[in-house]
A and B are shown apart, each in its own frame.
Chain A
Amino acid sequence: MLSIKNLNVKLEEEDKIILKGVDLEVEAGKVHAIMGPNGSGKSTLSYVLSGKGGYEVTGGSAELEGKDLLEMEPEDRAAAGLFLAFQYPVEIPGVGNMTFLRTAVNAQRKSRGEEEMSAAEFLKVVRAKAKDLKIDADMLKRPVNMGFSGGEKKRNEILQMAMLEPKMCILDETDSGLDVDAMKLVADGVNALRSEGRAFLVITHYQRLLDHIKPDVVHIMADGRIVKTGGPELALEVENNGYADILAEVA
């Protein structure tokens, strides 16, 4: 599904190298987790894959189902099936959440040459999915993320994911700022979307989220590289011993 080879990335504005040869293969139907200390490049990886400006790829490749992601505009990557759940969802005053969702769904459909969803059909689908995430009518009506609590913002990200039905979902520290109940709700939302044709890349600091979203593979990232890959037990090792042991071991 997602194939990253020797990806090297620096900041556009300064000579700071962030990713130093990342290799990663995420297969369809699998959940991969990336853990790592602050500043290891986890969020940068998610931004570069989804096309945020400010980064320069100096080497390597990233493909989604064989298509070169790095050549595409952000909106085309989304239409191709890539989705990033933001660590900090952006507030947009004056644009209703519902309008935003419908514009996004139809923009992707249009880009793929599919028919747009009618207003009535859209409403039906969005209401059902919002209900599962305990998102009420008021949250749908309000401007995008305006006045939402941290938990509401993250649930809204998952609602967008559920509506857009992407193939490759990247969750960037979706657990940050969530209490236990909110995390459970978000995790249930993600788990409901797990399927054979869909893959997940879950970026997190803590093992806690991985209790709820059980990964198939866990990677440890440090200083711009993936330094260790293993099963779910690797996350537990981090939880118990911190990163120091692992980093010492690979150094």
Chain B
Amino acid sequence: MTQPATQLTATEAMIAELQMPDTGWSKAARADALGRLRAMGLPERRDEYWKYTRPDTLIAPVAPKAAVFDNDEKPLFDDVDRLKIVFVDGVFDADASDDLTGEGLTIERLATATSDLHWARDFYGTLETNGQTPVARPLAALNTAFATDGVLIHVTGVVSKPVSLIYRHLSESSDAILHHCIKMDAGSELTVLENGPAAARFNKVMEVDVADNATFHHVRTQGRDHERRAATHIFARLGAESLFKSFTLTVNGVLTRNECVIELTGDDASAHVAGACVGDGVFHHDDTVFVTHDAVNCESRQVFKKVLRNGAVGVFQGKILVKAGAQKTDGYQISQSLLLDDDSQFLAKPELEIYADDVACSHGSTSGAIDEDALFYLRARGITKAEATNLLTLSFLAEAVEEIASEEMRDEINSRVAAWLERHRS
């Protein structure tokens, strides 16, 4: 691949700012990732995959500053019995974290797991590498090469206590790169929670291998800091009869790009990925999803809902690829935006690519305002216009939020959205 000189310069300028950690077993994978990064180059504005989202600030050698946002909201998931792992500006905080032990799993840190025979040696970066075709994801390769820390979770049984990754942001110039590996053995179960703004700029990769009959639940919220930036990737492989469910709530943030790359490789597997975001003003949120069906009788759902106002921008790029032989595929994709004024924008690129002849795939994308008939119905019952608008906004997001399996967490997410709506009344 030949790159223009400007792109080469940008890539090298970024690499020059970074230091590759020396962690023994991951050395080869990191060197490989660096080679791939150099070959593909960092994203540029003219890249088709970055048409709707400017990568400039994500690839700047030095992260743009982001003010730390103080709020007195009760921390998320506070009432959930969970195993807490805290990173402050990307640096592990042992004092704030629980002991990294639990029933049915082992947890280590990327930065300190130095044994040469570590299981992660054959895992780290492999799903990321697979996810680089057919579309390049250079920021993920950069992550694999330069990640400073992260968690390595090997799940061997049914884990009842969720693993909760908490990302605090205290420095206005922090630039964090974390890489998590989750290896789920056959029949195992795990819930991973993530919350917090993480850093001024956050690059995160999570690789999840869900073996046959295993179940993975993921609930994430990206912190309320207005000026933070994030580029995140989830790479997941699903074995036969496995279940993968991921939900993300994004509230505020000047720039967020969440990519999710899922490959269904075993028959009868199910993958659901959902997102709800609410943005007011300087807010750009991009959900980029790529689901590959490469087995028989699998189901996938993509449900993305965006509430935008005062010039906020939402982007959705979602693809379902059904390979030859992936018969009886049931693929569903919906992306919708609720535009609360005329200034906001929603850009959607839904794609289906199907090489099997016995499949059911559907996709839809809509942009609209609050339903006037529903608004009048609520007001005719005495509910004020502002309150009725909030109810209908929650109603709009419901299909995405309902993808969260736990009712307790659903309620918590809904109450966060309700609080945001209350603060951002017109």
Interface residues, chain A, CB within 8 Å of chain B? 50-53, 73-75, 77-79, 83-84, 86, 89-90, 92-95, 100, 103-104, 107-108, 111, 143, 160, 164
Which B residues lie within 8 Å of A104 (CB)? 378, 381-383
B39 within 8 A of A: no
Q: Is residue B123 within 8 Å, beta carbon to beta carbon, of the partner chain?
A: no
A95 to chain B, nearest CB (A): 5
- Chain B residues in the interface with A (C-beta under 8 A): 371-374, 376-385, 387-388, 391-392, 394-399, 401-402
User: Which residues of the other chain, A, contact B380 by a CB distance below 8 angstroms?
Assistant: 50-52, 74-75, 77-78, 83-84, 86
Give the complex CA separation of A92 and B397 in angstroms: 12
Beyond A75-B385, A107-B383, 19 extra complex contacts between A and B, CB < 8 Å: A50-B380, A51-B380, A52-B376, A74-B379, A75-B380, A75-B382, A79-B382, A86-B377, A89-B377, A90-B374, A92-B377, A93-B395, A94-B395, A94-B401, A94-B402, A95-B392, A107-B384, A107-B387, A108-B381
Closest chain-B Cβ to A235's Cβ sits at a distance in Å of 27
Chain A residues within 8 Å of B385, by CB = 73, 75
Inter-chain contacts of B397 with A (CB < 8 A): 94
With A and B bound together, what is the CA distance between A105 and B392 in angstroms?
17
Are A108 and B382 also in contact (CB < 8 A) when A74-B376, A92-B374 are?
yes
Pair B394/A94 contact, Cβ less than 8 Å: yes
| A84, A104, A143 pick with most chain B CB within 10 angstroms | A104
Question: In the complex, what residue of chain A is closest to B393 when comparing beta carbons?
Answer: A94
| B379 and A75 form a contact (CB under 8 A) | yes
Q: Report Cα–Cα, A102/B290, bound state, in Å.
A: 42
Q: A51, A107, A160 — which one has the most chain B CB atoms within 10 A of its CB?
A: A107
Point out the residues of chain A lying under 8 angstroms from B382, CB to CB. 75, 78-79, 104, 107-108, 111, 164
- Interchain CB contact under 8 A, B372 and A94: no
User: Could you pull out 9 A-B pairs where Cβ atoms are within 8 angstroms?
Assistant: A51-B376, A74-B380, A78-B382, A90-B373, A92-B391, A95-B398, A103-B383, A103-B387, A107-B382
CA–CA, A46 and B286, complex, Å: 45
A161 to chain B, nearest CB (A): 10
Q: How far is the CA of A79 from the CA of B399 in the complex (A)?
A: 32
10 closest A-B pairs (Cβ-Cβ)? A94-B398, A78-B382, A108-B382, A94-B395, A104-B381, A74-B379, A90-B377, A75-B379, A107-B383, A107-B382
Name the B residues within 8 Å of A73 (CB-CB): 379, 385
Whether A94 contacts B384 by the Cβ 8 Å rule is no
Min Cβ gap A55→B in Å is: 12
Give A212 to B380 CA distance when docked, in angstroms: 26
Q: Which residue of B lies closest to A77 (CB)?
A: B380
Bound Cα distance A84, B378 (Å): 11
Nearest-neighbour CB distance to chain B for A9, whole angstroms, equals 16
Would you call A92 and B395 a contact (CB within 8 A)?
yes
Contact between chains at A94 and B399 (CB < 8 Å):
yes
The distance in angstroms between the C-alpha atoms of A177 and B383, with both chains bound, is 27
Closest to B373 in A: A90
Please tell me if the beta carbons of B372 and A53 are within 8 angstroms of each other in the complex: yes
Which A residues touch B373, using CB under 8 A?
90
Q: Report the separation of the CA atoms of residues A75 and B381 in the bound assembly, to the nearest whole angstrom.
A: 7
Known A-B contacts A93-B398, A94-B394, A103-B387; A160 and B381 likewise in contact (beta carbons under 8 Å): yes
B383 near A75 with CB under 8 A, answer yes
Contact B381 A78 (CB under 8 A): yes
Q: Are A93 and B383 neighbours in the complex by a CB distance under 8 Å?
A: no
User: Do residues A164 and B377 form an inter-chain contact, with CB atoms below 8 A?
Assistant: no
- A143 to B402 alpha-carbon distance, docked (Å): 12
Cα A166 to Cα B394 with chains together (Å): 28
Q: Is the CB of B377 within 8 A of A93?
A: no
How far is the CB of B378 from the nearest CB of chain A, in Å?
8
Cα distance A160–B378 in the bound complex, in angstroms:
11
- The answer to whether B392 and A92 touch across the interface, beta carbons within 8 angstroms, is yes
Identify the interface centre among B373, B383, B388, B395: most chain A CB within 10 Å of its CB: B383
